[in-house]
Structure 1
């Protein structure tokens, strides 16, 4: 009967699929993006962080946050070999890609400079949209905003809401395109019917 290995004797797997690092414009080679593109792996690049501040309010050096996404786990040495030509920071493991991408624009850090989600760049088939789906709290907040807008602007046609959202409120539009159409269409129809009944 074989003995069980103790947890201390088990080899720790220090590999992971997602890694992040920081690239500085003043030290990276001009073709640094192409170097990563040539790796043929999905990766994300943040907007240029050129408005970040240190704790003493001094300006940080402009930089990009990058994240590599592999189908299989990679160890530190493998990632270092890939990114060493970039003259960037050492790679760090990404525990949550959603949190990482939200940090790219400081979505959860209102005290920091806010960058545009649309300025996140995607390579190798990477897509960021799914990482920014609204939480339940976000959805409830959006519902309140939309209802207030409908009331304030006396909206009685669903198409007017959709047109406004498409042009001005992409988060609203995303909800209307997916799972909130029935609710808001019914709400607007109810307002219109109520007005008609009052006019009789």
Structure 2
């Protein structure tokens, strides 16, 4: 039986480390001049993995490409040892740029604003919620509907927007059928009271 030829991993997102003390002085300008999208972390202090001041940089390619293809596409001479990593979970790595999920590491008070965006990089710092958290969000949206006597789906979305509860708004917006059906049922029940 013939063996299948193994195809190399492909992706759109890649990451590298820029050492603050050895990168070219104009490395940011070089990235801008490439017209490719990059996200740059704030300056990270030395740690176990990188015992020098450094930046984490994420590159996004327009199509899926191999690691070798990405190496050819990015600006050379910027990343430490020209090391580049294919990101299988780019959103988690983007969150790592400012240590959102690692409270034991250096925290950046500017939050999202501490990340430098070059050439329109599509930054996504959202996180996946556990089943338990999603169940709680569902319960919270139902509670919100009851507490504010909401009867229309549009009013629900407006009220959640005004309340500043982005996670609940996102949950309600992604479960239109559930909440619209619930609100329709509430309106219909009122007709028979």
Q: Please indicate the TM-score interval, normalised by the length of the shorter structure.
A: 0.5 to 0.7
Match of 1:68 among 56, 59, 84: 59
Indicate how the Cα distance of structure 1 residues 124 and 94 shifts in structure 2: closer, same or farther if over 3 A, else same: same
State yes or no: 1:169 paired with 2:165: yes
Q: Once the 2 structures are TM-superposed, how far is the Cα of residue 174 of structure 1 from its aligned partner?
A: 2.5
C-alpha distance in structure 1 between counterparts of 2:70 and 2:190, whole Å: 69
> Unmatched 5+ residue regions in structure 1?
none
User: Tell me, what secondary structure is at the counterpart of 2:138?
Assistant: helix
Aligned residues: 180
SS of aligned partner of 1:82: coil
Name which one, 1 or 2, has greater alpha-carbon Rg.
1
What is the CA-CA distance between 1:36 and the residue it aligns to?
0.6
Residue 67 of structure 1: how far off its partner (Å) = 1.0
Partners of 1:146 and 1:26 lie apart in 2 by 50
Return the offset for 1:77: 9.8
Aligned counterpart in structure 2 of residue 82 of structure 1, from 64, 69, 75 = 75
Q: Indicate the residue corresponding to 1:144 in structure 2.
A: 139
What is the CA–CA distance in structure 2 between the aligned matches of 1:33 and 1:100, rounded to whole Å? Answer: 20
CA distances 1:108-147 after superposition (whole Å, capped 9, x unpaired): 4455566645654544443234x84745625333213323
Secondary structure of the residue that 2:57 maps to in structure 1? strand
1:124-135 correspondence runs (5 A): 124-129=119-124, 132=126, 134-135=128-129
Aligned to 1:32: 27
Preserved CA contact (<8 Å) 1:15 1:75? no
* Contact persistence 1:16–1:93 (CA under 8 A): no
Structure 2 unaligned spans of 5+: none
Aligned equivalent of 2:86: 94
Q: Is the 8 A contact 2:67 2:85 kept in 1?
A: no
Seen in structure 2, the aligned counterparts of structure 1 residues 77 and 118 have a Cα distance that, compared at 3 Å, is closer
Match of 2:96 in 1: 103
Q: CA RMSD in A?
A: 4.6
- The alpha-carbon deviation at position 93 of structure 1 amounts to 1.0
CA distance in 1, matches of 2:143, 2:46: 36
Alignment of 1:12-27 (within 5 A): 18-23=13-18
Aligned residues of 2:19 and 2:55 also touching (Cα < 8 A): yes
